A and B are shown apart, each in its own frame.
Chain A
Amino acid sequence: MSFPNPVTSVKLVLLGEAAVGKSSLVLRFVSNEFQENKEPTIGAAFLTQKLTIGDRAIKYEIWDTAGQERFASLAPMYYRNAQAALVVYDVTKPASFVKARQWVKELREQASKDITIALVGNKYDLVEDDNEEDLVRKVNVEEGQNLADEEGLLFFETSAKTGYNVKDVFVAIGNKIPEATASGSDTATNQTSGEGRIDLSGGGNFNNATSGCC
């Protein structure tokens, strides 16, 4: 590593209605991939990614939650200690924007006070070619921007499909996170090799474990 600076860890949670593209945003950010018809998330997925912004190395620890109402009661477990949240809606689905509003409210009431929230209108690729008669877009940029201004949120419209603005969201969040939050002592974190995997190559140990596993 050419960075002597300690790695800053950011615990980040994604919230939003089902099928707005939460997992796809994460997949784009972590692996720069897009998967059509990505399966619904059950429970939550956990991924990590490292990013260098200027001279800072930031490790994102991302909780990608299931969007469906039934699992909403689990959300507090994920945002409880989160430093940042992405509240995602689908620019073609007004109901998803209503839901986003509720999530912002819940976060303001329940999550830690200094949590950084980004409001993200996803599926921008679908509205790129909108013409005036036939609007696919159902949530205007202004609506999103207004909510963000009222609540003091970062605001982006993104497309996980094309990659538009995706990295920018995470960079913006990274910039809002104060320098090296207590992760200097966290050597295990620093050794993590990036690209969303935990480095377990403890040599022989892993071999043993593999054979013991199955």
Chain B
Amino acid sequence: MVKERLLRAGEVELLYVKSKVYLHPTPSKKDNICGFLSLSRGPLATNNDILLSFSAENQLSKEEIKIYNNVDLHELEVDLEALQISGKRLANAVASKKREDHIVTKPPVSILVGYSFSIPLSFVFSIQVRKPSSGFWHGSLVINTKDGEKLPILFFHDNESASTLKEQKIRNQRFDPFNSSGDLYWGGDDFIKVLLKFIRVVKSTVETSVLLINPDEDDLRNFANNRRKSSIGGDSSSEAATKPIDFKMPNIGKFLNNAKWRVLETVATLGAQTKNQVVDLVDEHAPVPLKQLMSKPEVKKIGDDFDSARIYLAKWAQQVKEEAEESLKKYMLEDDIYNQINKELGSDEYLTEEEINKTSRRDPIGLTEWKSFFDYSGRLNITANEIKSKIFHGGLEPEVRKEAWLFLLGVYSWDTSAKEREELYASYETAYSDYKLKWVEDTEKRSTEFWMDQKHRIEKDIHRTDRNIEIFQNKKTKRTSTTSTGENANNSNERESSPETPDEASEPEENEEDEFNLSNIRNPHLFNVREILLTYNEYNVNLGYVQGMSDLISPLYFIYQDEVLTFWTFSKFMEIMERNFVRDQSGMKKQMLTLNKLLQFMLPKLYKHLEKCQSVDLFFFFRMLLVWFKREFEWNDVFHLWETLFTNCYSSQFHLFVALAVLSANERIIIQNLQQFDEVLKYMNDLSMKMHLDPLLIRSELLFLKFKRMIDIIDRENSIARSSGKFDNVVNVDHELRQLLNKEPIIQKEVERPEGVGGG
């Protein structure tokens, strides 16, 4: 806590400080005088009494320099907010306590003491703002007093001032290097911004770089005649201080903002390969002034980090998009989201407040929390359902997944102790190597056409799955398995037993994939993934490897980076996913059909529209359902979604509610804009990588709860109808819909491979 106390006489509270402001008394650099520009307020001071001061560093004590620097660097943001409040409640603010770390000795109140000076704002007539430009390397302020006195010009050495550098950096990182008038940000901007909070500032109509401070009518008419007036009535000026500020920044900021939105809208309608398109888009959509700005040499100067203004611009546009989406996300995750979705779904007709409250999100489970679920023997001390509900409503931190997914996927059951799990692991290890040996030791099997085809399929696919993830990329240098850690050394021992081990001696030192020999895999991780998939091909003989599985295994391998654990989590995962891959596609067809029924039941209006567009086959969901939205969400979101689905918290087919939520979230746009089969299809395909997971999960949950309530209501009405003999009124709920309430996973195994039918 920062201490607060009342100001003593001779003390002021610093409101604003800019460091490294210089006076240039002579043309020689070595005569420059370095100091702080500040605004400060003494006890019982009105806004007009606020002191505008320049304090030379060499006239301040070490402690005071420290305070000045602190206020400069850390307090701007905070202060601006605080100032607004104190501006409104002036009377209170003046008397109230001040932060101790803002209090310094009052700068000497004379026009000029040595090189330092200090005057009340009411004595300032005008300030000329000279931005940095090709003529002036340093931006500067020229202050004229009401006496017609010209104070020494204040030069802002932006390249030395810590706060300015910091702000510039932040702005560059946000790709928003401009101030509100559309120019590049410089050190003087903050000063003017703060000044505007305290006093009426009017831009001169004659010379726009001149700001008139609290001017009267005559001043406004002919400010050039500035040698007049010596005093000003305190009363009228304090009134002026509370008047609204007339000064308006030019509107380019707003213009930029509008442009942002135009770009955003268009970006959002694009396909996945946005990078190049964004560049074109910006060319098309950037407002003229922005383009002109981008061609300015100063702007290009920012771009040390960037290849060119064009790329800068593209990054800007992308940043805009992310920023906007981020704020959208934030907004949506506020309480409003519940209200909004509920209102839209009409769920308050169906759901109690308690049910709706249950859907609120929690923080992901971190390692500490996860550990707290277990007692000394490594047994759960809360119920598995409690944990599942926590995971469902907030997910896991990445470092928890390694352990938690073993439970979620059923590799370990929830009621085991740490010791039992150790034993289990050993048996998993043995079982894995047994399965692996089945193909490793069987040269005859490995020479069958079927087996070689399968191997080729696996190799083709792992070479093109998630290659943007670091561990799946090829290293620039030759693999260094000989110098790796113990764990990896084990792996490489294991590998020697594999007939698929590449001949390391003959391995060329290059980064390229061998186009003609996919089997020669140089990345050890890809190598492991292939071993696991080949072993799975043996473990589940009827199913074997099917395209799509490489997408399912890669997040698991990413977590474990270990053959045994990846194999078993994958095998368990495949138990529930097997129905997606069966040869006759019946599992997928059934899910699409269930989704179709669910859509009719829950979103009849959208269903009717899709019917008109010949889109009720919902074909665009094929990929989403097949690999559980793996291709639709960003890498990190995939983990979160999958662990949510693993919980079977509400339904073993919750992924169909996620699909329903995707439709529900886009219902309006589909109905209003899309008329044709291919339009709907393209729109839905292009949602890939553009959806935000959290709001979608909330929507899915609410849709489920609504669904459940609807079924309950129907059942209740039915039983009333039956008991009163009105059998005509009984509504039949489709079996597949009712099954959605079931938490038991649906297992559909592949049948034996018919003679002569290939794999894949």
A-side interface residues toward B, CB under 8 Å? 18-19, 31, 33, 36-40, 42-48, 61, 66-71, 73-74, 77, 92, 126, 136, 188-189, 195-202, 205-214
Contacts and interface: CB of A to CB of B under 8 A. Distances in A.
Contact of A198 (B516, B682, B759): B682
Contacts of A205: 668-669, 672-673
B329 interface: yes
Nearest to A23: B464
Given A46-B681, A92-B516, A197 B269 contact: yes
A212 B619 contact: no
B758 A61 contact: no
A45 to B, nearest CB: 7
Contacts of A198: 269, 679, 682-683
Nearest to B687: A213
Given A36-B513, A211-B332, 8 more contacts: A18-B461, A33-B276, A74-B622, A189-B676, A198-B679, A200-B669, A212-B668, A214-B328
Pick from B619, B673, B681 the residue with the most CB of A within 10 Å. B673
Interface string B664-703: 0111110011011011011101100001100110000000
Contact of B269 (A19, A38, A136, A199): A199
B202 interface: no
B585 interface: yes
Contacts of A200: 269, 669, 673, 683
Contact of B678 (A46, A69, A136, A210): A46
A201 B60 CA distance: 60
Contacts of B269: 197-201, 206
Given A19-B460, A73-B584, A42 B631 contact: yes
B266 interface: yes
A70 B666 contact: no
Contacts of B584: 73
A213 B581 contact: no
B176 interface: no
Contacts of A42: 547-548, 551, 622-623, 626-627, 631
Given A42-B551, A68-B547, A136-B516, A209 B668 contact: yes
Interface in B507-556: 513, 515-516, 546-548, 550-551
A179 to B, nearest CB: 21
A69 B465 contact: no
Contact of B457 (A61, A68, A211): A68
Interface size class of B (residues with CB under 8 A): 35 or more
B270 interface: yes
B695 A214 contact: yes
Contacts of B581: 70
A214 B457 contact: no
Interface string B256-286: 0000010001101111010011000000000
Given A46-B681, A46-B685, A40 B465 contact: yes
A212 B669 contact: yes
B758 A206 contact: no
Interface string B212-239: 0000000000000000000000000000
Contacts, number: 148
Given A19-B460, A38-B464, A209 B669 contact: yes
30 contacts: A33-B273, A37-B467, A39-B467, A40-B548, A42-B547, A42-B622, A42-B631, A43-B626, A69-B758, A70-B583, A70-B585, A73-B585, A74-B585, A126-B515, A189-B676, A197-B269, A197-B686, A200-B669, A200-B673, A202-B672, A205-B668, A206-B265, A209-B666, A209-B673, A210-B268, A212-B666, A212-B667, A214-B328, A214-B329, A214-B696
B671 to A, nearest CB: 10
Contacts of B550: 40
A188 B682 CA distance: 14
B665 A214 contact: yes
A45 B271 CA distance: 11
Nearest to B582: A70
Pick from B276, B332, B675, B679 the residue with the most CB of A within 10 Å. B679
A68 B546 contact: yes
A211 B328 contact: yes
Contacts of A212: 344, 665-669
B760 interface: yes
A197 B268 contact: no
Contact of A43 (B619, B668, B686): B619
A213 B669 contact: yes
A210 B695 CA distance: 12
B270 to A, nearest CB: 6
B130 interface: no
Nearest to A78: B619
Contact of A197 (B270, B516, B547): B270
B220 to A, nearest CB: 41
Contact of A207 (B265, B277, B759): B265
A214 B548 contact: no
A211 B686 CA distance: 17
Contacts of A45: 685
B547 to A, nearest CB: 4
Nearest to B675: A188
Contact of A214 (B515, B692, B760): B692
Contacts of B622: 42-44, 74
